[in-house]
Structure 1
Amino acid sequence: MEQTETLLAALISPEREPQNQTQLSLELSIAEATVKQRMGEIYSRFSASFPELDHHAGAGKLRILRTRLIQKYSQPSQPVVAPYPEEFRSLIEEKIRRFCGRQFVFETFQQFITDNPHGYFTIVGDAGMGKSSIVAKYVSEHKSPCYFNILVERRNRPELFLKSIRRQLIDRYQLPNSEDADLPTLLSKVAAKLTDTERLVIAVDALDEVEQEAGENLLHLPTTLPNNVYFLLTRRPHNLGQKRLSVSPGVPVKELDLRDSEYVDFNQDDIKEYIRYVINTDSEYKDELRNWIQTRSISDTNFVEQVANKSENNFMYLRYVLPAIANGDYDLSLKQLPDGLQEYYQNHWVRMGMEAKPGQLMEIVLYILLEIVTPIPCEMIAGIAEVDECDVKQILEDEWVEYLKKQNVDGEIC
């Protein structure tokens, strides 16, 4: 409470610097030494969120802290809108349910916004490195307009992207006569409404899943941007010849590649934080995981270290392996857990019996699902495979029940 009281008093005046301890001392009726001690404790506690406080020596820390708090928490005066589009609600909520870490990504992006009047910022990483979760977390905290390209749902076309973003911007910024506007026009209209301190960030996930004719920017993203307008993008790695984002000279562009050596330690720390969260806090799996750990006389530290190493810094590995351990799929020691996603899937393939009879019906059904992509009734699968429907139903409802979700499509269960 004492720290809170001191911080609030210090933040009342934006021009007040931390060395002006005399004013705070008089206002709070405490000694200057006490003010100095409290402010030091405040900076120490906030340094976890804003590491530059630790690296900044001398005066100016209060101004840095105030600026960062405004950037992170200030709410611009604009119409109340839904936190994110209904079409992506379930995806976002699932992605952020066990979200941990990634602070270095958010800080780098925030610095990009601070340093540039507009621009494109792209997060690059392999499958399973948490790119979609990073975007979902940013959107959930900042209520940014967003679009998630989803190949398997055929939600990955430029016209669908424009339709969704157009509706979000119209609703958020009250843009009249914009129902048919293209993206550059929409961005210009929004930019004209922004104050000097407001920013528009549009988050777009999985550019690598976009389905579009070659020759133009993916999703027809504009080559120029108005001031105070930024795009936060994600994609998997590609060859230089596959680059699909071109901008005009002078438009700032930055990539953060999660695979770079400078981020190895950050990635490892976030992986460990995720594991600790699941085994200590997650209501769905923590009890079973703690029992698994304790019955094998493994220390928490050892469990976290070994699973983190086996994950190869891949969150998708943890997403599948930790629940599998909790569900009793691995009645093994830590050393026998699969190393990395490839070995995990190989073990899983064997456990499903897929190697027992090459070319068997299960394999055929899997290939049909992969090719069709959209929800499909059991009868249609059986027709394509030219087998009895009961045989297919046994696979879907007995063998694979944990991997599939039933949907009612025009009266048929798919």
Structure 2
Amino acid sequence: MTTPDPVSVITSIARAVAPTAIKQAQRNELVVKILKELKLDPVQPPKDVDGVYVYALVEYGVGNPEPVRKLLGEREIKNAFWSAYTSRNPLFFLAKSEDLLNDNNNLKSEIETSGIELRTELEEFGNVFINVAKRTNSEEFKPYPDWNLDEYPKEFKPLIKEKTRTFCGRNFVFKAFLEFLNKKPKGYFTIVGDAGMGKSAIAAKYVATKQCPCYFNVRAEGNNKPEQFLESIRQQLIKRYQLQNAEKDNLLTLLQKVSEKLPAEESLVIIIDALDEVEQEAGEPNLLNLPKELPDGVYFLLTRRPFTRETKRLTVSPDVPVQELDLRDSEYVNLNREDVEKYIRLFLNNDFEHKESLRKWIQERNLTDEAFVEQVADKSENNFMYLRYVLPEIAKGLYNDLNLKQLPDGLQDYYQVHWVRMGMETKPQEAKVIVLFILVEIGTPIPGEMIAEITEQDEYEVQEVLEEWVEYLREQEIEGDTCYSFYHASFLDFLKGKKELKSTRKLFKEVNQRIVDFWKREMDADEAEG
């Protein structure tokens, strides 16, 4: 009996299930179903290399891009992976994958037109393989390699992967920055735009492509303080440029040391995302204590929301060039619109999870593709965050009762429509309101178990609330716990403006006291362990 092709089995089973199943709790059930179809034990992986490779392909493949599954299914790629694994040289695997794609124009085109960041996907697969290998307890897979294809910190990998997975366009921004690099000896280049205009995605794409030092400020995760930024950038520069005696250097000293090491034709570009989310006391004039002086060959690419003279907090010396590109400017309106339409077409034609459901929605309303693209672009008000939410929700059937003209207008209207659809203004929703309030008040990633303890609710009930709001939450593993925080600052800002979540409500006075009591217990426990 012939063994089924794992890529075909993954694709057929994953496509037969609603996209939400891949995104949420049923994902594990899908993996189990596929493993059984392939005659593999869902509990214990096999101990041979081929078996572990297939097992890893299943665990990686559910919910990840189909073109990458096809690539990983090639025998030549499997052999290249094992050679890279045993030689502890993951970059060899990347090079061999790129070589194969150069010989396979169709697959290369699928990956490129889908906006897939190949390096990111191959790194994720490698780490899945290592996790499966560890579960076999087989000596054949030891020592386990450090499977890192990137030069930037691991802490930013999930964010960069998320932001670049469906990236397209923005060439006018990259062109403007390239001109700045070519014409100026050093300087600060700032991308300005409203929430959801794609600033973080631009930063993430540049980092993924150029592999440059970076820092992503994320208020909802508490990664937005000057000391955190300096420590991260310091370690990146020390590692990248083998700097000596630099463990306590300030930023300007680090930059000067790097500048002295740079060949004449090279430069250092540091990406800093979301300056507006930085938490910093008044006093130092510049956010993140960015230096007023810069050595030659050193550039910063910054992103931030619109600012006033008082909130700008970026003062530089007269000889340091500064340029701002405001995505809201009239000269960029048409270019933004073109990129928004490209994104919608990319989603419609290449999003393997949603495109079939989306086409069904369009056909049921007797629309042409172009009419759909144009009208959704109008509704988005050139906002990519709007598209990130609305397009999958159309595919999932959440707007089956509406036509295009009835879709929300812009990001804030979308948030309000969703708030109403969740019944937050018409029914008693005390449990949901309390969970959201805690996420807003805590402001950093928090485990569901901890939320349940604070709310004095059953953990299962809290999990149900979290799953209802899953599109707006970022899940991440921290010390073995699944923690939750808000995906985008714009939604956090929206919630802070809702009267239902005002901290002055009588309902929340007790909840606030529970939060205080909880943190006190945690601190007491830490002191006892210390």
> Within 2, Cα distance between the matches of 1:367 and 1:122?
33
Please point out which of 238, 259, 269 is paired with 1:201: 269
Q: Which runs of 5+ in 1 are unaligned?
A: 1-79
Which residue of structure 2 lines up, in the alignment, with residue 348 of structure 1?
418
Higher relative contact order (CA 8 A, sep 6+): 1
Q: Using a 3 Å threshold, how does the CA distance of structure 1 residues 90 and 265 change in structure 2: closer, same or farther?
A: same
Retained in 2: the 8 A contact 1:95–1:136? yes
In the TM superposition, residue 352 of structure 1 has moved relative to its aligned partner by 0.9
Of stretches 257-266 and 288-297 in structure 1, the one that deviates more from structure 2 is 288-297
In the TM superposition, residue 81 of structure 1 has moved relative to its aligned partner by 7.9
In the TM superposition, residue 379 of structure 1 has moved relative to its aligned partner by 5.9
Instruction: Give CA deviations for 1:269-288 in whole Å, capped at 9, x if unaligned.
Output: 00000000000112121111
In the TM superposition, residue 255 of structure 1 has moved relative to its aligned partner by 0.6
Please point out which of 270, 280, 288 is paired with 1:212: 280
Of stretches 202-211 and 190-199 in structure 1, the one that deviates more from structure 2 is 190-199
> Within 1, Cα distance between the matches of 2:222 and 2:236?
20
Please point out which of 348, 352, 362 is paired with 1:293: 362
Instruction: Give CA deviations for 1:238-282 in whole Å, capped at 9, x if unaligned.
Output: 111222111111110111110011100000000000000000112
Which residue of structure 2 lines up, in the alignment, with residue 283 of structure 1?
352
Say whether residues 1:235 and 2:304 are aligned partners.
yes
How many residues are matched?
A: 334
Retained in 2: the 8 A contact 1:224–1:248? yes
Q: Percent identity?
A: 63
Which residue of structure 2 lines up, in the alignment, with residue 82 of structure 1?
150
Retained in 2: the 8 A contact 1:81–1:172? no
Which residue of structure 1 lines up, in the alignment, with residue 209 of structure 2?
141
Q: TM-score, normalised by structure 1?
A: 0.76
Q: Using a 3 Å threshold, how does the CA distance of structure 1 residues 344 and 115 change in structure 2: closer, same or farther?
A: same
In the TM superposition, residue 179 of structure 1 has moved relative to its aligned partner by 1.5
> Within 1, Cα distance between the matches of 2:478 and 2:347?
35
Please point out which of 322, 347, 352 is paired with 1:253: 322
> Within 1, Cα distance between the matches of 2:447 and 2:154?
27
Match of 1:123, SS state, is: strand
Say whether residues 1:324 and 2:373 are aligned partners.
no
Say whether residues 1:374 and 2:458 are aligned partners.
no
Retained in 2: the 8 A contact 1:149–1:207? yes
> Within 2, Cα distance between the matches of 1:398 and 1:173?
44
Q: What letter matches 1:341 in structure 2?
A: L
Say whether residues 1:264 and 2:359 are aligned partners.
no
Of stretches 168-177 and 202-211 in structure 1, the one that deviates more from structure 2 is 168-177
Retained in 1: the 8 A contact 2:449–2:459? no
Match of 1:133, SS state, is: helix
Say whether residues 1:156 and 2:236 are aligned partners.
no
Of stretches 374-383 and 133-142 in structure 1, the one that deviates more from structure 2 is 374-383
Q: Using a 3 Å threshold, how does the CA distance of structure 1 residues 347 and 248 change in structure 2: closer, same or farther?
A: same
> Within 1, Cα distance between the matches of 2:480 and 2:370?
51
Q: Using a 3 Å threshold, how does the CA distance of structure 1 residues 301 and 107 change in structure 2: closer, same or farther?
A: same
Instruction: Give CA deviations for 1:1-52 in whole Å, capped at 9, x if unaligned.
Output: xxxxxxxxxxxxxxxxxxxxxxxxxxxxxxxxxxxxxxxxxxxxxxxxxxxx
Match of 2:389, SS state, is: helix
Retained in 2: the 8 A contact 1:81–1:171? no
Which residue of structure 2 lines up, in the alignment, with residue 91 of structure 1?
159
Q: What letter matches 1:250 in structure 2?
A: D
Which residue of structure 2 lines up, in the alignment, with residue 166 of structure 1?
234
> Within 2, Cα distance between the matches of 1:406 and 1:206?
20
In the TM superposition, residue 383 of structure 1 has moved relative to its aligned partner by 5.5
> Within 1, Cα distance between the matches of 2:474 and 2:196?
22
Q: Which runs of 5+ in 2 are unaligned?
A: 1-147, 484-530
Match of 2:272, SS state, is: strand
In the TM superposition, residue 356 of structure 1 has moved relative to its aligned partner by 1.6
Which residue of structure 2 lines up, in the alignment, with residue 16 of structure 1?
none
Instruction: Give CA deviations for 1:53-75 in whole Å, capped at 9, x if unaligned.
Output: xxxxxxxxxxxxxxxxxxxxxxx
Instruction: Give CA deviations for 1:120-177 in whole Å, capped at 9, x if unaligned.
Output: 0000000000000001111111111100011111111111111111111111111111
Match of 2:190, SS state, is: strand
> Within 1, Cα distance between the matches of 2:298 and 2:347?
37
> Within 2, Cα distance between the matches of 1:123 and 1:342?
22
Of stretches 84-93 and 116-125 in structure 1, the one that deviates more from structure 2 is 84-93
Q: Using a 3 Å threshold, how does the CA distance of structure 1 residues 127 and 407 change in structure 2: closer, same or farther?
A: closer
> Within 2, Cα distance between the matches of 1:411 and 1:96?
26
Which residue of structure 2 lines up, in the alignment, with residue 57 of structure 1?
none
Which residue of structure 2 lines up, in the alignment, with residue 176 of structure 1?
244
Instruction: Give CA deviations for 1:329-351 in whole Å, capped at 9, x if unaligned.
Output: 11021111111112211111111
Say whether residues 1:185 and 2:249 are aligned partners.
no
In the TM superposition, residue 107 of structure 1 has moved relative to its aligned partner by 0.6
> Within 1, Cα distance between the matches of 2:448 and 2:237?
41
More helix by share: 2
Which residue of structure 1 lines up, in the alignment, with residue 465 of structure 2?
396
Say whether residues 1:362 and 2:449 are aligned partners.
no
Of stretches 388-397 and 125-134 in structure 1, the one that deviates more from structure 2 is 388-397
Match of 1:90, SS state, is: helix
Q: Using a 3 Å threshold, how does the CA distance of structure 1 residues 106 and 352 change in structure 2: closer, same or farther?
A: same
> Within 2, Cα distance between the matches of 1:283 and 1:87?
27
Q: TM-score, normalised by structure 2?
A: 0.60
Retained in 1: the 8 A contact 2:221–2:445? no
Which residue of structure 2 lines up, in the alignment, with residue 55 of structure 1?
none
**Larger radius of gyration between Structure 1 and Structure 2:** 1
Which structure 2 residues correspond to residues 5-84 of structure 1 after superposition, within 5 A? Answer: 82-84=150-152
CA RMSD of aligned residues (A): 2.2
In the TM superposition, residue 411 of structure 1 has moved relative to its aligned partner by 6.8
> Within 2, Cα distance between the matches of 1:221 and 1:397?
38
Match of 1:256, SS state, is: strand
Match of 1:224, SS state, is: coil
Which residue of structure 1 lines up, in the alignment, with residue 59 of structure 2?
none
Instruction: Give CA deviations for 1:296-342 in whole Å, capped at 9, x if unaligned.
Output: 21111100000001000100000000000011111021111111112
Say whether residues 1:119 and 2:219 are aligned partners.
no
Say whether residues 1:226 and 2:295 are aligned partners.
yes
